[in-house]
Structure 1
Amino acid sequence: MFPRSTIAVRTLPTLPPWLAHTLRAQRGPVPWSAVVRGALAAGPLLLTAVLVGHTSLGVVAAIAAMLAGINDRPGSRRTAVRRLGAPALAGAAGVLVGTYAGDHAGAVVLTLVLTVLGLLAGGMSAIGPVASGGGTQLLVAAAIGAGMPLPDSGWARALAFLAGAGWLIVLRLALPTPGAPAGDFRFDGERAAVAAVYEAVASLLDAAGTEHATARRAALTAALDQAQDALAGPRLRRYASSAAERRLHAQYAAALPLAEAATALAWAGEPLDGRAAEGPRRLAAAVRESAATGPLPAPARSAPALRALDDALLQAAHAFDQDGGSDLHTRRRSARDLLRTAFGAGGREYGLRVALCFGASAAIAQALHHSHWYGQHTHWYWLPATAVFLVKPDLGPLVSRVLCRAAGTVLGALLFAGFAAVLPHPQGLVALVAVCGALIPVSTRHFAAQTAVVTLLVLSLVMVVGEPQASVGRIGETLLACALVLIVGHLPMPGERGGHVRARLASAAGAAHAYLEHVLDGPDGSGDRAARWTLRRDAYRALSEARAAIALSAAELPALARHTEGTDEVAALLERLVDTVTAAAVHLDDTGRLDHRHSDRLTELLGELAVHRERVGLPTGVTGLAVAV
């Protein structure tokens, strides 16, 4: 099994999790490709619209390009079509509904419409990252459509919104990536993702028998998840559309038995000779350079897992010369599963909080809009649009989101006040929009930085469309939205708190159960291994999603974090169970039977999970399989 890591004694006081998360920023190289796309998106769209006399539609298109830019992350091109396109479609629908509701409904009916949209979008956001992006854009666009005073019809605004996001998608598909092989940049994202899997396999083999093995196995899971997503994008035809793509599919499929063997070797806890990791590293280089593998060093065949590793290397070398791929990368979820997630415990809690925040902020904003205090400002939609970003738990813990949003808005508004005083109108503002578009891909590393850049961009668009400079109002409405979301975030809701975390954990337990049952009861043979590798991927991916949800919940304020205490222990048990099942599967392939080490460990883990079954809703079958072991 994986060795337990030692606990270092800290001599300095540590920051509380909620504050540490607020100060933490992502690291990595500057995504220059995304920076170029951002510079060519919102600014040029707005400039074109100004030149042809349709400034208001250019503002809508620039907003859509900005929202798409926030979702423009590294990955394959065709995955980006879904990641950017699906939220854009939801945003266009939001613009359409919001515009017609704002034009034809009174304040009360409009608030009810926005509240219902919040309920639907919140539940939808629990499905996954793409659905969450769609829910965000649906609500933000609905608020803008209802509140932004533009002369255009709802259909014209919706088409402008689609055009803005579509332009960024065109840039994403058409522009080559710096450093990509000459003349072939179509699959650079897929190629990098598959190469990262082989590198992660090599790193796990290097870490076998050390305290770093658990972290390296988690890194391998993340690499496999990214490769799975990269290869799952839309295709020109039902099957892979070119020999290069089919080869990448085959190379990904060949990495699955390597990952399985490496996990089994790390579970055994014995150090390996450096020769074992050399083969996967050469395979990674071959994928990255789209070249032949050359001779691969064979590891010793002294144990079942080492024999499995050697066999997997031979199969991978053969696969690298083939054009035939498979669909092992495809993660299939039925419409029923998606609806169960959206309307399950996690989706209901999510939806209720989003609906309450969005509806209440819209009602307060409209009341202030008609009051003397609000003055002549007409941008009441800022308050509900701000609340949407603040209430989204997938953007970070609640207090972290609030602190970062407040700090970023103040900084962005103050910077804009200075720029607005010296820049020529509208040329200087259009240039500022282009600069902000280029900065968005870098600013997404920290929510406060992203908020500052978005504030600059949005205030520029507001002035271009003819509204007065509104930095002070923007700060005030953001602070009001922060207070509202903090209150709603701590209100009791129907059902048990932490429903999203428990739903993710129960899903992971179900996937682990399916994997365990297949290994113990399924027939042996290579024809069955494809199904086993798919089940293994599902189990590890579900565990990764549960871990992410648990980490976010643990970084909340103590009043909220206490509702999910102990879930990290259950996730760790499930991870050890899946690791053990993987090692047992490799041993069964070689010997046809379980040894006492595997069966005893499985029985022990299943017994520990039985203690937690009622608390987190684990399927009964997970603990019931102890008898089968």
Structure 2
Amino acid sequence: MRAGFPLAAALRGVVALALPLLLGLWTGHMVAAVFAGIGALWGVGQDSSSPYRLRMQRLLAVGLAGALGLLIGELALLSGHTAPVAGCLVATAVFAGLISLCGPIRSVAGMHVLLGTIVGSGVPVPGPWWQPPLALLSGVLLVTVLSTSPWLWRRHRIETDSVRAVYRAAAGALAAVGTPHAEAARRSMTLALNDAHDVMAPDLATATRHRPEDPDTRRLLDALRLAVRLGEVVSALVWEGRPLPPGVADLPLQMAGRLLPTGKSASAGHGLVPAEKAASARDRRSPAVRALLELCETADAEAGADVILSLPARPLPGRTVRLRYAVLLAACVLVAYISALLLHGPRGYWLPMTVAFIYKPDFGPVLRRAVHRCVGTVIGVAAIGAVAALTGNTPCALIGTVAVFGALMAVGVRHHYAVATTGLTGIVFVLVDLLGDHRPLYGTRILDTILAAAIVLVANFVVWPDSAGSWAAAQTDAALLAVRRYRDLAPNATPAQRQTLRRAAYRRLADARRAAAQAHAEPVPAKRRLPDWEATIVAAEQVCDAVTARTLADTAHSAGDHAPGSP
């Protein structure tokens, strides 16, 4: 489901990009202001709606890596020769490629240390050598402050929303039981659980060492524990396939009202009488329905106390894959740098910078990224050309243009890469103009972007055509292994072990589906057909659902055998 219009992010983009330039215009230190604007530009590009701690980590990685790269590039440029600059770019690209596939924070840091090196080695800057890196870091810190300051008055809002989304998805899955949409609804609940685990990751790490002192954090962890158990019950009901009364489908929302109260619903959900009446005696013969009713009756800390929330880390590409990507990235950057030298001389930074932006397979399909980059550049060039013709490039008009394009970029980061590229293109034109480079580069930027995209596509699809397919196959194998472990170990596992095995299996399947979709989005030779990973993943999900239903039934049967008065 797409998020709504990110108004707060758009406002952050306006302030973060316009404020440094206004201060530079006021104080006369425009060079430092431009580099602060570059830092703000990169910060807005990595701003997100993730929890505030994760935002801070990501943005600090952007600022520190970008400033370090800028310093490295400046030192290489001081040599006055192209060979040290080329060697510096290649070495930085290898380093960036080696760390980029090792997780989201390292990926962002790797890309921005490379971008900083490209800008530092391609833009001669007057003044002290230390000024541009500090200015760039200050621009990123401005975005960090703007993005994380709402923590002061809405500390747990993002975490609460992510956990509440699991209960909403569970209600949707229960409503879809017995219909053709049941499996898709169950997958939505799985994705919501995955997201909640990711959002709550810092709190989960703390909870493994000691019980959190903050009552709100404890409440969220208890709600997530119960949501994990709820996911098991819903999966079993989806497998059974018998339509449920509407009252039963509403039970997750009543649970959320009790566990995650808001100003409007703090007193909601205290009674489950309507749901109990809706669940007839025939319905309550289902172990899953009985388990659901029991969860609702005991929706408190004890109801999920036996659930272990930690999950095994996601598998990362192997060392060979990372090394191959690093070498190809370095080769692409070197080819782009040489091409820029031949076409434009020593100030041609746009080509290698575009390569660094496009060749990010962990950010999505490379072909789609390349196409969106070209489309966004063409639109951005046309837009900034029209603005320049209308305003005459006066400083105030340029700063106003940056503010508008900053908001556009912030929206594009969340909705469409081509839109984000349109905003970035217009901002870079203005920043370069404020540095004193007034050359008409409209057509040049379009051609450079197309050339950079061609370099990346050749490397990705001619030199390494099976990169996405190999990763999808590896992810699918990892998912099948997790499913087999769940199938074989669940019957004799403790409740905590069973929940961990089940969540790991469903999470691996979701990761495999994402990798398969990315592989199918990339072009492949006509003679080479990709496996039907989706069919394999669907079959594995059905195995998981069956194991879940069987285990829940066996648990209910064992509980009945040991109940007081049982034979």
Structure 1 length-normalised TM = 0.79
Give the deviation of 1:261 after TM superposition: 0.4
Q: Which residue in the other structure is 1:432 paired with?
A: 401
Give the deviation of 1:225 after TM superposition: 1.7
Does the aligned pair in 1 maintain the 2:468–2:518 contact within 8 Å?
no
Unaligned 5+ runs, structure 2: 560-567
Does the aligned pair in 1 maintain the 2:465–2:524 contact within 8 Å?
no
How do 1:214-613 and structure 2 match up within 5 A? 214-233=183-202, 240=212, 242-286=214-258, 287=260, 289=262, 291-292=266-267, 293-296=269-272, 297-298=275-276, 299=279, 300-315=283-298, 317-319=299-301, 328-331=308-311, 333=313, 341-344=316-319, 346-370=321-345, 379-423=347-391, 424-444=393-413, 445-469=415-439, 470-493=441-464, 498-522=469-493, 528-559=494-525, 562=528, 564-592=530-558
Q: Which residue in the other structure is 1:51 paired with?
A: 26
**Take 2:286 and 2:448, find their aligned partners in 1: how far apart are those partners?**
65
When residues 158 and 312 of structure 1 are mapped into structure 2, their CA distance, relative to the original with a 3 A threshold, is farther
The one-letter code sitting in structure 2 at the alignment partner of 1:489 is N
**Take 2:518 and 2:324, find their aligned partners in 1: how far apart are those partners?**
16
Does the aligned pair in 1 maintain the 2:86–2:334 contact within 8 Å?
yes
**Take 1:63 and 1:560, find their aligned partners in 2: how far apart are those partners?**
43
**Take 2:100 and 2:30, find their aligned partners in 1: how far apart are those partners?**
32
Q: Which residue in the other structure is 1:75 paired with?
A: 50
Does the aligned pair in 1 maintain the 2:367–2:522 contact within 8 Å?
yes
**Take 2:321 and 2:552, find their aligned partners in 1: how far apart are those partners?**
36
When residues 105 and 592 of structure 1 are mapped into structure 2, their CA distance, relative to the original with a 3 A threshold, is farther
The farther-off stretch of 73-82 and 38-47 is 73-82
The one-letter code sitting in structure 1 at the alignment partner of 2:169 is A
Q: Percent of aligned positions with the same letter in both sequences?
A: 32
Does the aligned pair in 2 maintain the 1:346–1:499 contact within 8 Å?
no
The one-letter code sitting in structure 2 at the alignment partner of 1:431 is G
- Deviation track 1:70-113 (CA, whole Å, cap 9, x = no partner) reads 22222322232233333333333322333323334842343233
Q: Secondary structure of the equivalent of 1:41? A: helix
Give the deviation of 1:304 after TM superposition: 1.5
**Take 2:94 and 2:156, find their aligned partners in 1: how far apart are those partners?**
38
When residues 147 and 357 of structure 1 are mapped into structure 2, their CA distance, relative to the original with a 3 A threshold, is same
Q: Secondary structure of the equivalent of 1:491? A: helix
When residues 428 and 355 of structure 1 are mapped into structure 2, their CA distance, relative to the original with a 3 A threshold, is same
**Take 1:169 and 1:578, find their aligned partners in 2: how far apart are those partners?**
42
The one-letter code sitting in structure 1 at the alignment partner of 2:225 is A
Does the aligned pair in 1 maintain the 2:77–2:122 contact within 8 Å?
yes
Q: Does 1:112 align with 2:84?
A: no
- Deviation track 1:32-57 (CA, whole Å, cap 9, x = no partner) reads 12112112212112222333333223
- Deviation track 1:408-459 (CA, whole Å, cap 9, x = no partner) reads 1111112112222333432221221122222222223122221111101111
How do 1:111-260 and structure 2 match up within 5 A? 111-151=86-126, 155-175=130-150, 184-233=153-202, 240=212, 242-260=214-232
**Take 1:325 and 1:254, find their aligned partners in 2: how far apart are those partners?**
8
**Take 2:201 and 2:135, find their aligned partners in 1: how far apart are those partners?**
29
Give the deviation of 1:464 after TM superposition: 1.1
When residues 116 and 579 of structure 1 are mapped into structure 2, their CA distance, relative to the original with a 3 A threshold, is farther
When residues 517 and 128 of structure 1 are mapped into structure 2, their CA distance, relative to the original with a 3 A threshold, is farther
Structure 2 length-normalised TM = 0.87
Give the deviation of 1:327 after TM superposition: 9.3
Does the aligned pair in 2 maintain the 1:346–1:501 contact within 8 Å?
no
The one-letter code sitting in structure 1 at the alignment partner of 2:549 is A
- Deviation track 1:563-584 (CA, whole Å, cap 9, x = no partner) reads 6433333323332333333223
**Take 1:439 and 1:347, find their aligned partners in 2: how far apart are those partners?**
33
Give the deviation of 1:478 after TM superposition: 0.8
The one-letter code sitting in structure 2 at the alignment partner of 1:158 is P
**Take 2:467 and 2:429, find their aligned partners in 1: how far apart are those partners?**
40
Q: Secondary structure of the equivalent of 1:498? A: helix
**Take 2:553 and 2:401, find their aligned partners in 1: how far apart are those partners?**
61
Does the aligned pair in 2 maintain the 1:515–1:539 contact within 8 Å?
yes
**Take 1:547 and 1:204, find their aligned partners in 2: how far apart are those partners?**
19
Q: Secondary structure of the equivalent of 1:186? A: coil
Matched length: 542
**Take 1:560 and 1:327, find their aligned partners in 2: how far apart are those partners?**
48
Does the aligned pair in 1 maintain the 2:251–2:296 contact within 8 Å?
yes
Give the deviation of 1:484 after TM superposition: 1.4
- Deviation track 1:11-70 (CA, whole Å, cap 9, x = no partner) reads xxxxxxxxxxxxxxx844101121121122121122223333332232222222222222
Q: Secondary structure of the equivalent of 1:389? A: helix
Give the deviation of 1:256 after TM superposition: 0.7
Q: Which residue in the other structure is 2:66 paired with?
A: 91
When residues 425 and 483 of structure 1 are mapped into structure 2, their CA distance, relative to the original with a 3 A threshold, is same
Give the deviation of 1:117 after TM superposition: 2.8
Give the deviation of 1:282 after TM superposition: 2.0
